[in-house]
């Protein structure tokens, strides 16, 4: 660990705000890409149940 | 070969019988260009430095405006189906349509461009470079635009969509064209740029009609 | 499209399955047509008549299964829209249709075709100025002008008066006699010999 | 060999295979990303010029790489669908577009943030950033066409055609933007040149890039599986699930 203290780690010689902001947005994007499909999956399964109920089982 | 000439003759005939589709984009081109001096101010230094960019972007937008006319009319009244099912190859007919579309849009703008270059205090070398650049660049734009037009046939709000699909593909032509004028204005030779534009033109002559023809068959399949 | 078949079989459709936005139009549809025979496709609106015809014509490609024609080029297709340019006159339209078929036709051949669909005197009238029925008849004049062994006609009798229907039926019979094949969609009862019927359920 | 290709082509077998592989891929992607991030944030020495802001590179570069190769994979799926009409390729294309677009957006944002401390402005017309921006427009074009043609069966083929046309133009756009960049700002430092990095700097980068690739594939597979369920609900094996 090249930073002496946690404070220095957060501050990062003045560039901390940019680095953390970038990593924050990255986590948001990754989270979106992971969660959104899973929600979609649940929605599609529910939709399928309806469709099958409506059209009758094959 | 005569199907190519027949297509060009037919399309030009149709264009002249309904000039609005052709004149409107040209008037649009004229208005957009004259907006910039009003917006930016008449100072010679500023205007001459932005002349190339303004004229090229105006031509780009005007070509986009007039491009979907090329196929939309035939699609709506069912003649495009007849063309697709004819014994003549759709590729040649598409090529003929692109040529006739270019003749009434890009070609005219290229001829008019020296006039507008004067409005922007561009020196004579610059004017020639703009005209030559547009003569080489506008057919490429029409060719690439025809792919977008074919893909968005039959869509309700197709016009704006074509711009979104096709504008990114125009960027190389825009960059080369404007750089060409810039080097001409400073008196340097611009044959290099012209050759690159010509290379892009040849590339799109080779690929674009193929893609347009397939896209037409895709759009007809509904 | 170009697959040589033995014997007199002109069209072989194998297990055509077509879905449109999750609704099955038809499934595992198979039939074949010999030269000189006709097929009338009937069914209520929205049963997929037009889609089936467009599949056979080679326009609609979003289907499973196979359609094999014993034919070099595409069939002659007449769809819902007349397929004529409003800005062009009847004569110019037919000249253009002939160009598409690579046939150089003389002016009086065109006029002859126009008179067959009782449009004599309308040769130089712009199609935009014509009524819908007249426009469709200009489209149908192609049946008298272009030579293509296979015709696919989607509702050819709409906006056509009874006399016109008789003429077209008679033209179809002529075409069948010359070993042609006609597939058409219509709910009208027409007297065409050697014709099968295909009822699209739904 | 083709047997494998076609077997994978059928949605049913893809669903089973991916169902089996998915947990492992997700876990591995997570591990790689976490170690890469910790390594990049905590253990990489600061750059003599840029100080600590160089850590943003560990997000920006992988995102930019994924954006570009994502588009290529998407266009490849399009080409496969156009040529062999394999339904799975159409589904793959449709699902890859949003992931690619979000990653391109991430690359743009992190590139801009990285520019702030180095040049003082958020947006700088640097060659890589500009071509990433254009790549973003290409993605938006594919998504826009897809949503505009939503109800139609031929939507798949139209989007595939657009993706392939975009792919052919991608190198041309890239080189013309690079050339344009050198034309106007020949001297200044640019993000594009990769300064020869010492090993302790590019190793975490490699880990991050691998992590991003695995992340891309696993999220892509989840989307494809959902879309398979959505499209094949009429079939027997889907109803049994």
Q: Which of D137, D149, D180 sits opposite B168 (nearest CB)?
A: D137
Q: Which residues pair with C41 in a beta bridge?
A: C185, C198
Give the residue, A5 or D172, on which the prediction is more confident.
Answer: D172
C21–D154 C-beta distance less than 8 A: no
Strand order in the sheet with C23-34: C23-34, C9-20, C64-69
- Does residue D57 sit within a domain? yes
Q: Which of C19, C24, C62 sits opposite D154 (nearest CB)?
A: C62
pLDDT-derived band at B165, boundaries 50, 70, 90 = very high
- Does residue D8 sit within a domain? no
pLDDT of residue D4: 62
Give the residue, A3 or D130, on which the prediction is more confident.
Answer: D130
Minimal CA separation from B78 to chain D, in Å: 18
Beta strands in chain D (DSSP E): none
Task: Find the angle CA(D25)-CA(D29)-CA(D35) to the nearest 5 degrees.
Answer: 145
Which chain D positions have a beta carbon within 8 Å of C62's beta carbon?
153-154
B155–D149 C-beta distance less than 8 A: yes
| Whole-number Å distance between alpha carbons of A55 and C109 | 56
CATH code for the domain of D23: 1.20.120
Query: Is the pLDDT score of D41 beyond 60?
Result: yes
Minimal CA separation from C183 to chain B, in Å: 16
Query: Is the pLDDT score of B160 beyond 80?
Result: yes
Tokens (6 digits) for A34: 């992971």
Chain A touched by D240 (CB under 8 Å): no
pLDDT (average), residues B93-117: 93
Query: Residue C20, exposed/middle/buried by CB under 10 A (0-12, 13-18, 19+)?
Result: middle
pLDDT of residue D139: 96
B105 contacts: CB under 8 Å, gap ≥ 6? B22, B25, B26, B62, B63, B66, B67, B138, B142
The H-or-E segment that residue C180 falls in is: none
Q: Which of B147-161, C19-33, C93-107 has the lowest mean pLDDT?
A: C19-33
| Whole-number Å distance between alpha carbons of C123 and C138 | 10
Instruction: Tell me if B95 sits within 8 A of B173, measured CB to CB.
Output: no
Chain C touched by D150 (CB under 8 Å): no
**How many other C-beta atoms can be found within 10 angstroms of the C-beta atom of residue D59?**
29
D185 contacts: CB under 8 Å, gap ≥ 6? D125
Q: Which residues pair with C67 in a beta bridge?
A: C13
* pLDDT tens digits, one per residue of A14-47: 777 888 888 899 999 999 999 999 899 899 888 8
Q: Which of D151, D153, D234 sits opposite C62 (nearest CB)?
A: D153
D148–B157 C-beta distance less than 8 A: yes
pLDDT-derived band at B168, boundaries 50, 70, 90 = very high
Chain D touched by B172 (CB under 8 Å): yes
Chain C touched by D234 (CB under 8 Å): yes
D166–B169 C-beta distance less than 8 A: yes
D151–C22 C-beta distance less than 8 A: no
Chain D touched by B186 (CB under 8 Å): no
pLDDT of residue A35: 92
Give the residue, B187 or B201, on which the prediction is more confident.
Answer: B201
Chain C touched by D154 (CB under 8 Å): yes
Tokens (6 digits) for D217: 């594939």
pLDDT-derived band at D2, boundaries 50, 70, 90 = low
Nearest to D213 by CA among D19, D62, D64: D62
The distance of Cα B213 from the centroid of its chain, to the nearest Å, equals 18
Backbone angles phi, psi at C193, to 5 degrees: -75, 165
pLDDT of residue D14: 87
**How many other C-beta atoms can be found within 10 angstroms of the C-beta atom of residue B17?**
13
pLDDT-derived band at C3, boundaries 50, 70, 90 = very low
B–C CB contacts, 8 A cutoff, strictly below: 75
| Whole-number Å distance between alpha carbons of C3 and C14 | 14
Query: Is the pLDDT score of C1 beyond 50?
Result: no
* pLDDT tens digits, one per residue of D141-199: 999 999 998 877 889 999 999 999 999 999 999 999 988 888 776 555 545 455 567 77
Minimal CA separation from D159 to chain B, in Å: 8
D120 contacts: CB under 8 Å, gap ≥ 6? none
Strand order in the sheet with C195-199: C76-78, C150-154, C181-185, C38-42, C195-199
Instruction: Tell me if C57 sits within 8 A of C152, measured CB to CB.
Output: yes
pLDDT of residue D3: 61
| Whole-number Å distance between alpha carbons of C197 and D97 | 46
pLDDT of residue C2: 44
Backbone angles phi, psi at B178, to 5 degrees: -70, -40
| Whole-number Å distance between alpha carbons of B52 and C182 | 59
pLDDT-derived band at B148, boundaries 50, 70, 90 = very high
pLDDT-derived band at D217, boundaries 50, 70, 90 = very high
Q: What is the total count of domains within chain D?
A: 1
Q: HSE (CB half, 13 Å, CA atoms) of D172?
A: 21
Query: Is the pLDDT score of B211 beyond 90?
Result: yes
Place of tokens 């097929």: C39
Percent of chain D with pLDDT over 90: 46
Minimal CA separation from D161 to chain C, in Å: 15
Percent of chain D with pLDDT over 70: 91
B180 contacts: CB under 8 Å, gap ≥ 6? B52, B129, B132, B133, B190, B193, B194, B197
What CA–CA distances, in Å, run from D73 to B157, D95, D100, D216?
Answer: 29, 11, 10, 11
pLDDT of residue D123: 83
Look up the domain containing D136 and give its range. 14-239
pLDDT of residue C5: 47
3-class secondary-structure state, position C38:
strand
Query: Is the pLDDT score of B181 beyond 70?
Result: yes
* pLDDT tens digits, one per residue of D4-23: 666 667 888 888 888 888 89
A26–D110 C-beta distance less than 8 A: yes
| Domains identified in chain C and CATH numbers | 9-75+149-158+180-199 (3.40.50.300), 90-140 (no CATH)
Query: Residue B19, exposed/middle/buried by CB under 10 A (0-12, 13-18, 19+)?
Result: exposed
- C61: nearest CA partner in chain D: D154
**Helix residue ranges per DSSP H, chain A:** 6-11, 16-55
Minimal CA separation from C162 to chain B, in Å: 25
Which chain C positions have a beta carbon within 8 Å of B93's beta carbon?
100
């Amino acid at each position: 660990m090249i930073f002496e203290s946690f404070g220095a780690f957060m501050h990062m010689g003045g560039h901390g705000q940019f680095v953390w902001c970038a990593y924050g947005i990255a986590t948001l994007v990754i989270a979106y890409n992971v969660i959104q499909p899973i929600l979609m999956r649940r929605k599609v399964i529910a939709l399928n149940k309806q469709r099958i109920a409506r059209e009758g089982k094959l | 070969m005569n199907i190519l000439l027949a297509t060009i003759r037919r399309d030009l005939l149709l264009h002249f019988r309904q000039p609005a589709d052709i004149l409107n984009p040209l008037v649009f081109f004229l208005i957009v260009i004259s907006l910039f001096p009003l917006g930016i101010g008449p100072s010679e230094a500023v205007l001459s430095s932005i002349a190339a960019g303004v004229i090229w972007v105006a031509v780009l937008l005007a070509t986009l405006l007039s491009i979907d006319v090329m196929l939309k009319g035939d699609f709506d009244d069912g003649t495009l189906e007849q063309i697709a099912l004819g014994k003549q190859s759709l590729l040649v007919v598409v090529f003929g349509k692109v040529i006739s579309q270019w003749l009434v849009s890009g070609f005219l703008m290229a001829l008019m461009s020296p006039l507008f270059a004067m409005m922007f205090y561009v020196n004579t070398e610059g004017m020639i470079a703009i005209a030559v650049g547009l003569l080489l660049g506008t057919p490429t734009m029409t060719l690439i635009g025809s792919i977008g037009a074919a893909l968005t046939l039959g869509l309700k709000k197709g016009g704006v969509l074509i711009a979104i699909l096709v504008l990114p593909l125009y960027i190389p032509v825009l960059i080369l064209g404007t750089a060409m004028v810039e080097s001409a204005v400073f008196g340097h030779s611009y044959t290099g740029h012209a050759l690159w534009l010509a290379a892009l033109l040849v590339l799109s002559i080779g690929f674009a009609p193929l893609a347009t023809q397939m896209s037409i068959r895709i759009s007809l399949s509904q | 499209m170009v697959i040589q078949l033995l014997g007199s079989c002109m069209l072989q459709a194998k297990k055509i399955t077509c879905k449109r936005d999750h609704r099955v139009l038809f499934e595992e549809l198979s039939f074949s047509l010999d030269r000189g025979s006709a097929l009338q496709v009937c069914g209520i609106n929205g049963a997929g008549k037009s889609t089936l015809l467009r599949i056979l014509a080679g326009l609609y490609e979003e289907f499973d299964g196979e359609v094999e024609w014993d034919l070099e080029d595409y069939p002659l297709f007449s769809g819902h829209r007349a397929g004529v340019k409003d800005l062009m006159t009847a004569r110019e339209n037919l000249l253009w249709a002939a160009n598409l078929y690579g046939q150089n036709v003389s002016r009086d051949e065109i006029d002859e075709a126009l008179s067959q669909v009782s449009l004599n005197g309308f040769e130089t009238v712009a199609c935009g100025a014509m009524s819908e029925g007249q426009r469709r008849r200009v489209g149908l004049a192609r049946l008298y002008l272009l030579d293509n062994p296979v015709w696919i006609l989607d509702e050819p009798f709409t906006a056509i008066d009874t006399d016109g229907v008789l003429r077209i039926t008679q033209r179809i019979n002529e075409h069948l006699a010359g070993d042609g094949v006609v597939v058409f969609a219509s709910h009208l009862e027409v007297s065409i010999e050697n014709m099968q019927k295909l009822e699209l359920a739904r | 060999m083709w047997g494998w290709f076609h077997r994978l082509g059928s949605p049913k077998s893809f669903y089973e295979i991916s169902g089996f592989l998915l947990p492992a891929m997700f876990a591995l992607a997570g591990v790689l990303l976490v170690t890469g991030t910790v390594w990049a944030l905590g253990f990489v020495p600061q750059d003599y010029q840029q100080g600590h802001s160089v850590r943003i590179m560990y997000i920006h570069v992988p995102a930019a790489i994924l954006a570009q190769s994502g588009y290529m994979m998407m266009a490849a799926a399009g080409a496969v669908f156009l040529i062999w009409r394999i339904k799975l390729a159409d589904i793959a294309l449709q699902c890859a577009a949003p992931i690619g677009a979000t990653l391109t957006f991430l690359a743009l944002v992190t590139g801009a943030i990285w520019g702030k401390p180095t040049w003082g402005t958020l947006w700088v017309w640097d060659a890589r950033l500009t071509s990433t921006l254009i790549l973003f427009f290409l993605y938006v074009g594919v998504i826009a066409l897809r949503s505009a043609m939503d109800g139609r069966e031929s939507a798949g083929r139209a989007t595939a055609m657009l993706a392939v046309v975009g792919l052919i133009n991608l190198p041309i756009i890239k080189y013309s933007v690079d050339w344009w960049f050198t034309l106007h700002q020949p001297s200044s430092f640019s993000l594009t040149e990769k300064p020869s990095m010492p090993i302790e700097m590019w190793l975490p980068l490699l880990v991050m890039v691998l992590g991003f690739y695995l992340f891309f594939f696993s999220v892509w597979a989840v989307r494809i599986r959902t879309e398979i369920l959505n499209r094949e609900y009429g079939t027997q094996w889907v109803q049994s699930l």
